[in-house]
Each structure stands twice: as C-alpha cells, then as structure tokens.
Amino acid sequence: MPRLAKVPTPPPAGYLWTPEAARRIGLSVKTLWNYRHLGKGPKATPIGRKLAYSIDELDAWLKAEMEGGPDEGRARESRPPEPRISRRKPAPAAA
C-alpha cells in the first residue's frame, strides 16, 4: 500500500504558521523562536502542536520596530561600553 503524503494544515484565518510569519517580518525561524523565548518578539498563539502568529500582531510589531530607535524606550541589551583609555602622554607640569 503506498504511503500518502501529509498535506499541510492551513493556519486559521488571519494567522500564519511560524515559517510564513518569519518571512513576513524578515527574520529567520530561529530568530523568531529566540525572540519568543526572550519575550521580545510578536506574541504567538499555540494551536495544537504548532505556533500561529496573528497577521495584525506581526504588522504591529514590525511597525513598532521600524519606528523605534536603537535604544529608544528599551533597557540596554548589552554590557556598557569599556572606558576609554587615553594614550596621550600627560602635559609637562608648569614650574
């Protein structure tokens, strides 16, 4: 008996599965997954064993990312810059 190929289940109306959502906002699937676990990406809705992303939520998240500056309204995500060390020789002291 031949094996039947699985037909992908379409997402609910107004939603996209993870690969399509990642393509829509210009991220890789892995980055979208990492953002979800860090709590900084668009919100996902679990449907069965898959994650679905609302198209409206994706568009709103992308718009907010495009409008905000690099540090605007966000906590610093990396360590602070290293202090600058001057390589100049000190000026001679006045006598």
Please indicate, yes or no, if residue 76 is contained in any of the structural domains: no
| Number of domains comprising the chain | 1
Domain assignment of residue 61, given as a range: 15-66
Q: In whole angstroms, give the CA distance from residue 4 to residue 7.
A: 9
Please indicate, yes or no, if residue 8 is contained in any of the structural domains: no
Please indicate, yes or no, if residue 57 is contained in any of the structural domains: yes
List the pLDDT tens digit at each of the 95 positions of the chain.
677 777 778 999 999 999 999 999 999 999 999 999 998 999 999 998 999 999 999 999 999 988 875 555 555 567 777 777 777 777 777 76
Please indicate, yes or no, if residue 7 is contained in any of the structural domains: no
Sign of the alpha-carbon dihedral angle for 7, 9, 10, 15: negative
The H or E element containing residue 51 is strand 50-54
Please indicate, yes or no, if residue 32 is contained in any of the structural domains: yes
Cα dihedral value 52, 54, 58, 63, nearest 10? -170
